[in-house]
Amino acid sequence: NAGVTQTPKFQVLKTGQSMTLQCAQDMNHNSMYWYRQDPGMGLRLIYYSASEGTTDKGEVPNGYNVSRLNKREFSLRLESAAPSQTSVYFCASSELQGARQPQHFGDGTRLSIL
Amino acid sequence: QQPVQSPQAVILREGEDAVINCSSSKALYSVHWYRQKHGEAPVFLMILLKGGEQKGHDKISASFNEKKQQSSLYLTASQLSYSGTYFCGTVLGGSNYKLTFGKGTLLTVNP
């Protein structure tokens, strides 16, 4: 049982390049999330999808777009990468969106932008 | 509104106890606790709902004080495996259930 799978695990980009981070979950969860983690900042929500067909902005959405491709997959796109987007990106999922729902995280994508 | 965690870091010897606090200036609906080991994904520990409940998970337990809008995570008789960064996440009442994480508390347990 893989849980939440993120690809790639590592990536180096040049400023201005575009990139799509992939996330897939096999737990039949309805809700999915993208976070970024920077040293000393904790996890900050970029975008989330409460259910298939819906997406919504989180705390730090600027410079990113998302697509909920189907119930299993939720991708994050950087259209024109900037050094400030160097971070570790985590995808997570939960059965439903709600205050009582634990989130299950993938192993992360470590992204460096030069 | 990002919750405030304290302390930022704590160093223990195996067998000692620790308390990590998580405070909010807004009314909370629930508090989540996660642990993250270096280079790994955060792992869910427990959720506490408003109503002042307490929960336990082996030697790790937590409480939620609704009056103070504060949650505390208690680690008793710490083991080397408890080392990692502990994050609280809060859900505000009427917030569309978005989880907001604190900056984390780095716990180091030494032999």
B19-42 residue pLDDT tens? 999 999 988 889 999 999 999 999
| ∠ CA B98-A65-A95, rounded to 5° | 40
The pLDDT assigned to A14 comes to 96
A 10 A CB-CB count for B6 gives 12
Among B43, B44, B97, the residue with its CB nearest the CB of A98 is B97
Q: Is A2 helix (H, G, I), strand (E, B) or coil?
A: coil
Average pLDDT, whole number, for chain A? 94
Task: Please say if the pLDDT value at position A94 is more than 90.
Answer: yes
Q: A60: Cβ–Cβ under 8 A, 6 or more apart, which residues?
A: A36, A44, A45, A46
Task: Please say if the pLDDT value at position B55 is more than 70.
Answer: no
CB A86 within 8 A of CB A111: yes
The pLDDT assigned to B50 comes to 79
Comparing CA positions, the residue from A84, A74, A85, A81 lying closest to residue A21 is A74
The pLDDT assigned to B95 comes to 59
CB B22 within 8 A of CB B72: yes
The pLDDT assigned to B96 comes to 67
pLDDT tens across B68-100, in order? Answer: 899 999 999 999 999 999 999 998 876 567 889
Task: Please say if the pLDDT value at position B56 is more than 70.
Answer: no
Report chain A residues whose CB lies below 8 A from the CB of B89.
43
Q: For residue A82, what pLDDT band results from cuts at 50, 70 and 90?
A: very high
CA distance to partner chain B, nearest, from residue A98 (Å): 5
Q: For residue A98, what pLDDT band results from cuts at 50, 70 and 90?
A: confident
Q: A18: Cβ–Cβ under 8 A, 6 or more apart, which residues?
A: A77, A78, A79, A80, A81
Which residue would you say has higher pLDDT here, B29 or A4? A4
Is the CB of A59 inside 8 Å of chain B's CB atoms? yes
The pLDDT assigned to A9 comes to 96
Cβ-based contacts under 8 A for chains A and B: 51
